[in-house]
């Protein structure tokens, strides 16, 4: 029997630092060959997959052509009816359109792609393409606060923190460009490892050792709550629990958080009562403003959660108000008058104000409006402004709503 | 692609192999993970923004790939446990990986410390390996793990405490799990 009574920290540290060096016995060239084969193999597989798509792609294109032809014939045959529809559409109010737009869900991120969302994107044939969108984040020329899910080699994970006063949820988007199939649970189970609280001026929710497991098939997130975990009842932080979960998980289509009964001893959500399931409502009808923590290096676009607005006009009006007590800055200049027209999937925002120009303020306004429009269920926004270009945003085309706000590059 | 690989290999391969090996403690699995790391790094090489050093970038990728590996292994293990219903003690069943030659020749205390590393969490293990075995500074460790410096210090402290407790348990004869490996 050894005696380890003298295993003090110093001795332990010394022993650890004297652990043997483990050599790799592989030949460098052979290792490169394996890696190279895998990379090239993947490329070939991709090419093969592309080739495999052609047999059904051609009939699909033919079908689309037939549909377009039918639409053209239909329009020619009933010109008056078409005019009437378009007329009534332009008179639609923002609020009345909400119901019709309920199906245009937020983009699910990461590995689970939603076909209906992709189809929605393709419908916007006269809008900017996803590739054009992805260029925006690189070439905008101004600070950007949004990200598009356009690169198949990148994983995008919606996460959330709180502002330093624990008043608002701060949505963030983790961007892992090294792993297209990253398991989102990896990120949720150690959020504080990926969110730099000091730099962003945010507070990560103290989930402790609560483990998350996404069960997308059943639209739920399973929470394993460790023995002894205490939710701070009645505190500001406790009240944010549901909102933080909703911001992180509803983009996947998740509708409830469920305590895993097999692995949790504390089978309830504490302050929410003795329940083992918590409904998660998708944050809707928000306004987005700039939040800047007192010691933060950068600003973030955050929603008005839990405040909701009845119409987009009201939300845009709110975005003109500074709230210095809450470290929130307006994202729309109070002198800028905006007019809103609603179409089936998108919305048109018009302004003739001379303050709308090719500058940072307008770029931020555009991004805040895109996020706001997304929260109202729209998939694209057309900006009818006196300038044609703001940063890399070409305003002569409709612009799709982004995948998420406040991207954080992980590498 | 070859030039990027050569540069990474010359500068970091030994440290990278060592880091992954101490995380998974299996040579074959280490080789597989290392390949995966190089593939990810080479694919993402053009997008490396240079905000962190190349070294911390490389190691943070290695850590993520290793965590992915652990998760896949855990899922497999769960399926097996479910299938055979090994009950509450199922999680004590571990892979019987042989001690590497480099460790086998060391004295008993060193072998024991090596084995006790398995009782640290992944975070604790990462910090111990980076700080002591790889001699990373606290700053480098924080960058690699994407943590604050204070979190590195706290995790390091807890890891040493865990190791001390395991060694003390073993000393009292409660370390059957350690000795059985």
Its sign, for the CA torsion A34, B145, B113, B165, is negative
| Same domain assignment for residues B143 and B84 | no
Say whether B160 and A12 touch across the interface (CB within 8 A).
yes
CB contact under 8 A, A183 and B51: no
Is-contact A391 A140, C-beta < 8 A?
yes
- The C-alpha of A11 sits at a distance from chain B's nearest C-alpha, in angstroms, of 10
**Distance, CA of B33 to CA of B39 (rounded, Å):** 10
**Domain around B48:** 1-96
Neighboring chain B residues of A191 at a CB cutoff of 8 Å: none
pLDDT lower than 70: segments of chain A: 1-7, 41-141, 228, 230-236, 238, 262-275
Q: How many residues does chain B have?
A: 181
B180/B161 same-domain check: yes
The mean pLDDT of chain A is 76
Backbone angles phi, psi at A45, to 5 degrees: -60, -40
Final residue of a structural domain among B45, B75, B96: B96
**Residues in chain A within 8 Å Cβ distance of B109:** 2, 4, 15
* B4 and B89 together in one domain: yes
Q: Are residues B63 and B135 in the same domain?
A: no
Q: Specify whether B74 is located in the same domain as B103.
A: no
For the beta carbon of residue A235, count every other beta carbon within 10 angstroms. Answer: 11
Residue A379 Cα, gap to closest chain B Cα (Å): 29
Pick from A1, A5, A20, A40 the residue to mutate for testing the B interface (most B CBs within 10 Å). A20
Domain closes at, from B54, B71, B96:
B96
Q: What is the pLDDT of residue A50?
A: 39
Domain of residue B145, CATH code: 1.10.10.10
Residue with the larger pLDDT of the pair B68 and B84: B68
Judging contacts by C-beta atoms under 8 Å, the chain B residues touching residue A3 are 171
What are the sequence ranges of the domains in chain A?
A: 130-148+285-406, 168-279
Interchain CB distance below 8 Å, A24 and B17: yes
Residue A15 has its nearest CB partner, among B41, B52, B109, at B109
Give the count of domains, chain B. 2
Interchain contact, B113 vs A22, CB within 8 Å: no
The pLDDT of residue A304 is: 87
Same domain, B13 and B32: yes
B73 and B19 fall within a common domain:
yes
Give the nearest partner residue to A411 out of B34, B57, B135, using CB atoms: B57
- Residues B89 and B103 grouped into a single domain: no
What is the per-residue pLDDT across B69-126, written as a single tens digit (0 to 9) for each? 877 776 665 555 544 444 333 333 344 446 788 888 888 889 989 989 988 888 889 9
B32 and B48 co-located in one domain: yes
What pLDDT is stored for residue B167 in this prediction?
A: 85
Dihedral sign, CA of A367, A189, B20, B79?
A: negative
Kindly give the interhelix angle for B54-84 and B27-44, rounded to the nearest 10 degrees. Answer: 130
Contacts of A16 in chain B (CB under 8 A): 113, 128, 132-133
Q: Check B18 against A21: CB less than 8 A apart.
A: yes
Same domain for B61 and B91, yes or no, is yes
Are residues B105 and B181 located together in one domain of the fold? yes
pLDDT (tens digit per residue) in B140-177: 888 888 778 888 888 898 899 889 888 888 777 654 44
Q: What is the pLDDT of residue A357?
A: 92
Q: Do A19 and B35 touch (CB under 8 A)?
A: no
What is the rounded CA–CA span in Å between residue B131 and residue A219?
41
Omega cis (within 30) before A163: no
Do residues B90 and B11 both lie within one domain? yes
What pLDDT does B177 receive? 46
- Domain stop point among B60, B76, B96: B96
Tell me how close the Cα of A289 comes to any Cα of chain B, in angstroms: 27
């Amino acid at each position: 029997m050894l005696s380890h009574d003298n295993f003090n920290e110093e001795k332990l540290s010394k022993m650890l630092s004297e652990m043997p060096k483990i050599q790799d016995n592989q030949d460098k060239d052979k290792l490169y060959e394996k890696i190279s084969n895998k990379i090239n193999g993947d490329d070939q597989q991709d090419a093969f997959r592309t080739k495999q798509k052609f047999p059904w792609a051609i009939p699909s294109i033919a079908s689309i052509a037939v549909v377009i032809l039918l639409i053209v014939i239909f329009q020619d045959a009933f010109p008056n009816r078409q005019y009437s529809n378009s007329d009534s559409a332009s008179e639609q109010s923002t609020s009345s359109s909400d119901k019709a737009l309920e199906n245009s869900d937020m983009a699910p991120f990461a590995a689970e792609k939603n076909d209906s969302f992709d189809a929605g994107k393709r419908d916007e044939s006269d809008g900017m393409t996803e590739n054009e969108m992805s260029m925006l984040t690189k070439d905008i020329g101004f600070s950007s606060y949004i990200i598009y899910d356009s690169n198949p080699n990148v994983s995008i994970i919606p996460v959330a923190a709180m502002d330093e006063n624990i008043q608002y949820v701060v949505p963030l988007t983790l961007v892992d460009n090294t792993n297209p199939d990253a398991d989102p649970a990896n990120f949720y189970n150690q959020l504080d490892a990926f969110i730099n609280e000091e730099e962003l001026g945010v507070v990560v929710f103290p989930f402790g050792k609560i483990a998350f497991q996404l069960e997308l098939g059943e639209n739920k997130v399973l929470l394993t709550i460790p023995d002894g975990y205490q939710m701070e009842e009645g505190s500001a932080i406790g009240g944010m629990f549901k909102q933080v979960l909703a911001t992180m998980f509803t983009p996947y289509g998740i509708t409830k958080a469920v305590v895993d009964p097999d692995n949790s001893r504390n089978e309830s959500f504490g302050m929410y009562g003795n329940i083992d399931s918590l409904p998660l409502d998708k944050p809707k009808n928000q306004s987005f403003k700039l939040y800047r923590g007192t010691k933060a290096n950068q600003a973030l676009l955050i929603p008005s959660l839990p405040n909701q607005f009845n119409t987009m006009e009201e939300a845009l009006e709110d975005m003109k108000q500074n709230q210095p007590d809450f470290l929130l800055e307006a994202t729309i200049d109070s002198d800028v008058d905006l007019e809103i027209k609603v179409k089936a999937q998108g919305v048109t925002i018009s302004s003739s104000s001379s303050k709308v120009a090719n500058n940072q303020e307008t770029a931020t306004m555009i991004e805040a409006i895109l996020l706001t429009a997304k929260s109202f269920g729209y998939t694209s926004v057309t900006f009818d402004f006196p300038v044609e270009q703001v940063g890399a945003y070409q305003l002569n085309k409709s612009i799709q709503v982004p995948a998420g706000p406040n991207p954080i590059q992980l590498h | 692609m070859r030039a990027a690989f050569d540069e990474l290999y010359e500068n970091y391969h030994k440290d990278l192999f060592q880091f992954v090996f101490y995380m998974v403690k299996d040579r074959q699995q280490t080789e597989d993970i290392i390949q995966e790391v190089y593939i990810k790094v080479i694919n993402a090489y053009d997008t490396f923004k240079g905000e962190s050093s190349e070294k911390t970038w490389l190691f943070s990728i290695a850590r993520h790939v290793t965590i992915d590996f652990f998760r896949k292994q855990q899922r497999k293990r769960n399926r097996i446990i479910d299938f055979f219903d090994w009950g509450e003690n199922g999680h004590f069943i571990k892979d019987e990986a042989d001690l590497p030659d480099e460790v086998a020749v060391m004295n008993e205390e060193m072998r024991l410390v090596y084995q006790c590393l398995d009782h640290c969490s992944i975070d604790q293990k990462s910090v111990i390996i980076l700080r002591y075995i790889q001699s990373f500074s606290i700053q480098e460790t924080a960058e690699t793990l994407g943590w604050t410096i204070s979190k590195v210090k706290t995790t390091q402290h807890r890891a040493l405490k865990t190791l001390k407790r395991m060694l003390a348990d073993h000393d009292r004869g409660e370390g059957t799990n350690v000795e059985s490996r």
